[in-house]
Structure 1
Amino acid sequence: MGIKKDKRNYRKHSEENQELIKNSLLELGTGRSILLDNEDEIIAGNETFTQAEKLGIPIQIIETDGKTLIAVKRTDLATDDDARKQLAIVDNLATDKSEFDFELLSDDFDINFLEDIGFEKIDLIPKGVGENNPTEEWEDMPEFEQENLLAKNRVIVSFENDDDRFAFAKLIGIKMTRDTKSIWFPEKKPEAVKDFRYKDEE
């Protein structure tokens, strides 16, 4: 079996994360599977494979064309088993403890695509770009008092269905979608920070 690690792995694993995965495999056994392409290079699960290989855990490959969801069934675990409950936590925690390599992502993907699938633009800016020393930058700057932009009054409006939501939006003349969580009335357009610049009055 010639499984190869992903040459451009978009996940970074700290020592803590590596230790978590190793201990989970040792104490609770394997959980979710890893994913390979048709050249046996890992798509997802690089660190799990690394730790399993170090521990000498056998690996079984299930071939699929992506049209069938592969479910891994642990025949040794019952619903009320403590190990089963622990695995449910640790399996998800291991993912949370790792992080994306944003510089690598920015090299390989268009930033608009990354934003569309949920990444924050600030995370995708290469380190060193736009970084400065706040203390030095603030020297000789004018005093500034932030205006309170919070709403003075709030009212909760509930709808039984989407038709009612859209009828209300039409009534007040404000565009709303199924995902709209809050609105201003009258409508206020968000102010872009890039539009504000300090100008020396001298």
Structure 2
Amino acid sequence: MAADAVVALVLAAGRARRFGNDKRLAHLPQRGPLLAATLASLRPHFGEIRVVVGLEDDPVHLGIAKDVGTIVAETAEQGMGASLAAGIRALSIESQAFAVAVMLGDMPWLSEDTLALLCSRASDRSIVRPFYRGQGGHPVLFGRCFWGSLEQLTDDEGARSVVRRHGADCIEIAVQDPGVVQDVDRPWDLDGARRNGR
């Protein structure tokens, strides 16, 4: 499936309390704020990108480009599952995509080859997951027939329960890309990236 048939949904409504301040604005060398860098890495692969934000978030302040749509998750404080459900409900109405690539807003290190590979394996009836050295990562691509299940999520578990229920429909792809498992939970998660100029 072509990448333009897959919409990217970036979850960025969390306040990141473990980080100590708003990690979405944490600076990456030569790449700018963390969330903006993540979105820039997705832009070449997705004709449609949507970002889930919280009620009090200002997209301009977060560095979200004007041509990137935002979806407000009114119950974002309930956790990632609630944010994902809000995003999927909006996409079900507004997007014609066959699949959605669910992405976290603090993962700017994915390789272009990985994104292209995942999109090439997507379909409306499959769940595509990248694995790096046996560890599951992001983005996870959900075919449209699973969107109804994603809309029902309410807690902080995210989409794991949907993946478990539909194991027979999962395509697991081993990649040599640590970027699929590298996110930012605490300030020191950025230290290596800063040292390496990433």
Shorter-chain TM-score range? under 0.3
Q: Say which one has the larger Rg.
A: 1
Give the TM-score, by structure 1 length.
Answer: 0.25
Which protein has greater RCO, CA pairs closer than 8 Å, 6+ apart?
2
Structure number with higher strand proportion: 2
